[in-house]
Structure formats: C-alpha cells, structure tokens
Amino acid sequence: MKADSIHSRRTFLQQASLGISASLLAAPAFASHSLFTPPQTGKPLGVALVGLGYYSRDLLAPALQETKNCRLAGIVTGTPAKAEEWKKKYNIPDKNVYNYQNFDRIADNPDIDIVYVVLPNSMHAGYVTRAAKAGKHVICEKPMALSVRECEGMIEACKKAGKELSIGYRMHFEPTTQEIMRIGQQKEMGQVQMVSAGAGYRETRTGHWKVKKAYGGGAMMDMGVYALQAARYVTGEEPVAVTAQTFTNRPDMFREVDETTTFQLVFPGGALANLHTSFGMSMNYLRATAEKGWFRLDPFSAYGGIKGESSKGPLQFPKINQQAAQMDEVAYCIANKKPMRVTGEEGLKDMRVVEAIYQSVKNGSRRIELKA
C-alpha cells in the first residue's frame, strides 16, 4: 500500500471517530495534510542524536522514550561530561558514543540506523553529508542549511548513498495543523486570500550562535521558517514574488543578523501572505482568510497546546507529542520503504524563499520574482 493511501485511511478512521462527515474526506491533494499514526513494526530503529543542546536534551531525547518505531541508541557530543551524563540517564553503551572527530566511525555501528543532526544551522550540511556517507538515514533540524546550494548538496549526498533524508518540520505531524493544511489546500472555504502569521521570541543570549551570521543565526532562519512554512502549507503553493524588510531595536546585539523581519509573499492562486518573525518579541499565531470563511491556529508552532478555530467552529483534534510522532513516522517509513512526509526538497523550497527574502532586504525591499 502506498503511504498516501495509508495516510488517507488513517485520516478517515480518526475523523470518523471524531464525528466528521464523510463529505470532508475527499482524497488529499498533498500527502502532507493527512493524519497517520504508524503501526509498530519490527525492531525499533536506532537513532543517534548529534549535538546535545537544548532541543536534543529537552525535547528529542524525552520524545525518544515514547517512540515505538525508533529509540535513542547513540549520541555525538564534543563534551565528555555530557557524554557521561547521557550514558547514565539513557543507558547508552560506550560503543555508541561519538565525538565530532571520530563521528565517521558510526558507519561501522549496526545499532545506529538514523543520524539526527541537531547542531547549529551552519553545521547541518556538513554533518548530513557525513552521515549519508557513513551509510545512515538522516533527519536534519530546521532550517535545513544556509543556502539552496547547500540543500542541493545534502539531497544529492543522501540520494547517492541510497539513504532517506527528512527535515525536522514537526508541525507536519501535528493533527490540528494537518487539518488546516487540508482546509486550505482543498479549498474547503474557497480560495485562500490572505495568510498572516508571526513567530518569534525574545532572544537575550548575546553570545549565542543564534545571533551570529557565520552559524546561520537570525530570526528569519530560526523562527521565520515557521511563518514561511505556514503560508506554503496553508496554500499548498510556492510563492512567485517576495518583498521583505528588517528592523532592530537592539543594534548592539543584532549587528550580524536580523532581529525582526517582515515579509510578504504572492502566491500563484491569488493568495497573499503577510508574515513576521522576531528575536525581539514573543508571538505565535496563524490566520488565514478564504473566500467563504477563515481559520486560525493560536499558537501555531508551539510544542503543545495548538489551538484551532474556524468560522465554522472550533477545530478539535487529539493532542500528541509532536517530536515522537515525527520520529515514529520517519522510522516507520524507512523500515517499510514508504515516502517521507517531510523531504529534503521541502527544506530546499523554504531556503529558496529565504534567499529571496535576504535579497529583497539587501535591495531596499525590492520585489524579487521567483519561478513558479
């Protein structure tokens, strides 16, 4: 059975149990907006986390205690004290602990099936390529890399190695988000006319890599991709034109990267998107206005508590662990040779727009045309 049909079947079962009428269950235009909980299959695949910072420590490692199709089998860290702590906490044997120098030896380790790259953005391309060369499937955190060129190289490296590549866009696995993808893409309320979204938090760590250009820092790269993703997954289209502006209230801290970026996208079906991202303020909302109604999520990209509503009423879907759902499905698809929900191409498409955003800012908010 193709993944699409599995996804659709799951949608049907879940929506039927929620009392949603069969008329809403038309075949999805995109596999990305259908619910799917993969069955547990065989031996769980071994995941090695590369980079044991905030996201690995607080979200991915705990989620890997809940997954059924994969498990935390290895770690890659440059800090011996962290290695000791993680080995004890997660019962990881010495032979599955690597540092950045001996990482390539992971090729000889049959316990590790998937390498999950959770490093600063500038290191994604290098480690994804090394993981693929080591013969491992790869999950790479967002944003995929620093440029379209890097993204293409990563896709090519995985293809050449015959290994899967998925990007850590966890919202694609979140049920209420999947529902608004469906409403937008299937034009349930008619053509989407306007998408507004904002994603940001107040970054105060002055020395952190997230405020350094060489590491791929800045609000656009970090939080802006969520707003960009939202406009793309609500419309199901690729933008054809971009304009953008940046602002800062803390010029001393934001000398190298953007503190706040606003950007506008034009989609071929007629939708406009008015999007913002910031390291200066906390915001997290998504609202879409269509010909015959509206729908929104607030928050839309938080780790939990995604709250949805439309002009027809509340959107109620089960609450899940996003990271566990993401990794379980990726592992299931690898084990069963099904297509990935979030491919490397998905990360590349975002990077194409991010490059246009930077180009627009650099040229006084000039309109940049993108190929449809």
Told to check if 121 binds ligand NAD by CB under 6 A, we report yes
Reply yes or no on whether 159 is catalytic. Answer: no
Residues 214-273 that bind ligand NAD (CB under 6 A): 222
What does DSSP say about strands 308-310 and 313-315: parallel, antiparallel, or unpaired?
A: antiparallel
Told to check if 53 binds ligand NAD by CB under 6 A, we report yes
Contacting ligand NAD (CB under 6 A), which of 30, 201, 209, 294?
Answer: 209
Question: Which residue type sits at 198?
Answer: G
Strand partners of residue 285: 198
Residue 117's closest CA among 32, 60, 160, 43?
A: 60
Contacting ligand NAD (CB under 6 A), which of 9, 25, 30, 55?
Answer: 55
CB of 168 to ligand NAD, least distance (A): 4
Told to check if 78 binds ligand NAD by CB under 6 A, we report yes
Phi, psi of 273 (to 5 degrees): -125, 135
Residues contacting 102, CB < 8 A, separation 6+: none
Closer residue to ligand NAD in complex, CB, 86/358: 86
Closer residue to ligand NAD in complex, CB, 53/153: 53
Closer residue to ligand NAD in complex, CB, 131/368: 131
Told to check if 205 binds ligand NAD by CB under 6 A, we report no
Told to check if 170 binds ligand NAD by CB under 6 A, we report yes
From 107-115, 116-124, 144-152, 330-338, give the range in contact with ligand NAD by CB under 6 A.
116-124
User: If you write DSSP's letter for every residue of 3-40 in order, what string do you get?
Assistant: HHHHHHHHHHHHHHHTT--GGG-PPPSSGGGS---PPP
Told to check if 54 binds ligand NAD by CB under 6 A, we report yes
User: What does the angle CA 135 – CA 51 – CA 84 come to, to the nearest 5 degrees?
Assistant: 105
Question: How many C-beta atoms surround the C-beta of residue 345 within 10 A?
Answer: 14
CB of 126 to ligand NAD, least distance (A): 11
Told to check if 203 binds ligand NAD by CB under 6 A, we report no
Contacting ligand NAD (CB under 6 A), which of 141, 179, 258, 350?
Answer: 141
| Residue of 136, 142, 163, 210 marked active site | 142
Contacting ligand NAD (CB under 6 A), which of 72, 106, 118, 273?
Answer: 118
Reply yes or no on whether 142 is catalytic. Answer: yes
The DSSP 8-state label assigned to residue 343 in this structure reads B
CA-to-CA distance for 372 and 367, rounded, in angstroms?
Answer: 15
Told to check if 138 binds ligand NAD by CB under 6 A, we report no
CB of 276 to ligand NAD, least distance (A): 18
Residue of closest CB approach to ligand NAD = 53
Question: By CB under 6 A, how many residues form the interface with ligand NAD?
Answer: 16
Query: CA gyration radius for the chain?
Result: 20
Residues 23-52 that bind ligand NAD (CB under 6 A): 51-52
Told to check if 80 binds ligand NAD by CB under 6 A, we report no
Closer residue to ligand NAD in complex, CB, 44/168: 168
Contacting ligand NAD (CB under 6 A), which of 20, 37, 120, 133?
Answer: 120
Told to check if 125 binds ligand NAD by CB under 6 A, we report no
| Residue of 116, 226, 233, 285 marked active site | 226
Told to check if 326 binds ligand NAD by CB under 6 A, we report no
Q: Is 210 helix (H, G, I), strand (E, B) or coil?
A: helix
Classify the C-alpha dihedral 170-173-176-178 as positive or negative: positive
The answer to whether the bond into 299 is cis (omega within 30° of 0) is yes
Strand ranges for the chain from DSSP E: 45-50, 70-76, 97-98, 114-117, 137-140, 165-167, 192-200, 241-247, 260-266, 272-278, 283-290, 293-297, 308-310, 313-315, 368-369
User: What does the angle CA 174 – CA 86 – CA 212 come to, to the nearest 5 degrees?
Assistant: 65
Residue 126's closest CA among 110, 144, 108?
A: 144
Residues that bind ligand NAD (CB under 6 A): 51-55, 78, 118-121, 141-142, 168, 170, 209, 222
Residues with active-site annotation: 142, 226
